[in-house]
Structure 1
Amino acid sequence: MKLITLIHPKLSMDEFALICQPDDGILLRQDAVWLSIRQDLCWPVQHVYALQSDVLLRKLKVPQSVTVIDDEAWVTLTINADQVLLWQN
């Protein structure tokens, strides 16, 4: 499993989907947490996470399809991932 981190809300899903496999995880951080409330996106993976501190700072209510995680869970995801990537457009 790859853990792919997004930090910007600007996203070309066609380009992004090329690097994703269904068992990968996406972590939304910083302003990318705004992507969690977009209903027009179809994520190319089964697991989408958002960092709790970023969600709280922006006062978002994320859908149940996105798992909100704390820093400890973030570290665990990173340790368990085969590869950790930062996606920048």
Structure 2
Amino acid sequence: MSIGFGIFLMAVGAIVAWAVPALWAVEGANWTLIGYILLAAGALVTLFGIIMAARAGRSTSVSRSRVDPDTGTRVERTERNDDLL
């Protein structure tokens, strides 16, 4: 979701930076600067989304269950391994 939102922000930023100043001039609004800020924010959101997606693919979990011979109850154990970048 964040990768798509980042690409959307970059597209809106490009439109605002390069198309809006030529079509619509407003006193006190620097459309080029606003567009570049949106482009940078979109790039950061996209990069963050890629890092999070890569990190989510590296986690593994192992579940084991056995019966305790002393009490006769089932014991379940789950181990999770997250490899960090």
- Kindly indicate whether structure 1 or structure 2 has the higher relative contact order, using CA contacts under 8 Å at least 6 residues apart: 1
Higher helix share: 2
Higher strand share: 1
Verify same fold: TM over 0.5: no
Q: TM tier, shorter chain? A: under 0.3
